[in-house]
Amino acid sequence: MFRALIVSLCLVLLSPALPASAASGRHVFGKYAFGESCQKLFTGPSFAEEKARPIWDPKYQMFGLVHDPEVTAQSRFTLHYDRDAKPNFEGVPLGRVYYGCDKATGRFSLVVMSHDLLAVPGLVRKATESFGPPTMTTMIQTIWNLPDLYVQIDQVYMIIYDTRAGKPGGAS
């Protein structure tokens, strides 16, 4: 009994410490923890910056991805992606994953995942397993508006936003 306690204590002391934000699987996407420095996470030869930007639509209470340069300047995010990645969400294949970085803080707080229409049922099923029943479902979108996360699945994108970084529209 005493020997087992000593071994357990040694394992705890020798295990690498996780940042507080990485301690919860809800606040990690793949190997990237929400709240980490984007400059640290998304640099290197395989990373690029996407021209499109996520914009929060206060009328419809949802994110949209915009390509118009005049409108993208209003977004509080920049998007980065790994050209070499073969992404998936809980085993459901994706097109590309864009990692959203808050322009003001330089912190990772948003993920935009492109997918095809056939992936929607699998994404909704996996998200429901991870986040519980959706808050709202319409013909074209499913939304989880949780205290710490906002998750949106539509016909083209799945978006996860860490609301600990502020309200989606920008006001805290």
User: Which tens digit of pLDDT belongs to each residue from 97-116?
Assistant: 999 999 999 999 999 999 99
Low-confidence ranges of the chain (pLDDT < 70): 1-26, 170-172
- Predicted pLDDT at 17: 29
Asked whether residue 13 is domain-assigned, the answer is no
Classify residue 84 as exposed, middle or buried by CB count within 10 Å of its CB (0-12, 13-18, 19+): exposed
Domain housing 70: 31-165
Classify 117 as helix, strand or coil.
helix
pTM as predicted? 0.81
Asked whether residue 171 is domain-assigned, the answer is no
Number of compact structural domains in the chain: 1
- Predicted pLDDT at 170: 65
Residues with Cβ within 8 Å of 158's Cβ and at least 6 positions away in sequence, in order, are 89, 94, 112, 113, 115, 123, 127, 151, 152
